[in-house]
Amino acid sequence: MTEQGPPASALETDPDYRAAVVDLLAVLAYGELTAFERLAADAAMAPSIDDKAALAGMATAEYRHFQVLRDRLAELGVDPQAAMAPFRRAYEDFHEQTAPSDWLEGLVKAYVGDGIGIDFYREISNYVDEDTRALVVSVCDDMGQSAFIVDRVRAAIVEDPRVGGRLALWGRRLVGEALSQAQRVAAERDALSTLLVGGVDRPGTDLAEIGRMLARLTENHARRMSALGLAA
- Within 8 A by CB and 6+ apart from 137, the residues are 122, 125
Burial of 147 (0-12, 13-18, 19+ CB in 10 A): exposed
- CA neighbor of 92 nearest in space, from 40, 31, 43, 39: 31
Q: At 36, is the pLDDT very low, low, confident or very high (cuts 50, 70, 90)?
A: very high
Backbone angles phi, psi at 199, to 5 degrees: -155, -170
| pTM metric for this prediction | 0.87
pLDDT on residue 4: 60
**pLDDT tens-digit readout, 57-108:** 999 999 999 999 999 999 999 999 999 999 999 899 998 999 999 999 999 9
Measured CA to CA, the distance from residue 152 to residue 213 in angstroms comes to 30
| Three-state secondary-structure class, residue 160 | coil
Tell me the percentage of the chain whose pLDDT exceeds 90.
50
Q: At 1, is the pLDDT very low, low, confident or very high (cuts 50, 70, 90)?
A: very low
Measured CA to CA, the distance from residue 96 to residue 98 in angstroms comes to 6
Burial of 117 (0-12, 13-18, 19+ CB in 10 A): buried
Measured CA to CA, the distance from residue 116 to residue 173 in angstroms comes to 12
pLDDT on residue 188: 78
Hey, what domains does the chain have and what are their CATH numbers? 10-227 (1.20.1260.10)
Measured CA to CA, the distance from residue 106 to residue 97 in angstroms comes to 13
Residue of higher predicted confidence among 135 and 201: 135
Average pLDDT of the chain? 87
With beta carbons less than 8 A apart as the criterion, state whether 27 and 87 touch: yes
Look at residue 180 and tell me whether its pLDDT is greater than 60. yes
- Identity at 112, one-letter amino acid code: V
Helix axes 49-75, 15-42, angle to 10 degrees: 160
- CA neighbor of 89 nearest in space, from 176, 185, 154: 185
Residue of higher predicted confidence among 200 and 25: 25
Measured CA to CA, the distance from residue 22 to residue 192 in angstroms comes to 9
**pLDDT tens-digit readout, 119-177:** 888 888 888 899 999 999 999 876 566 889 999 999 999 999 999 999 999 999 998 88
Look at residue 197 and tell me whether its pLDDT is greater than 70. no
Q: At 2, is the pLDDT very low, low, confident or very high (cuts 50, 70, 90)?
A: very low
DSSP for 49-102, written as a single string: HHHHHHHHHHHHHHHHHHHHHHHHHHHTTS-HHHHHGGGHHHHHHHHHHT--SS
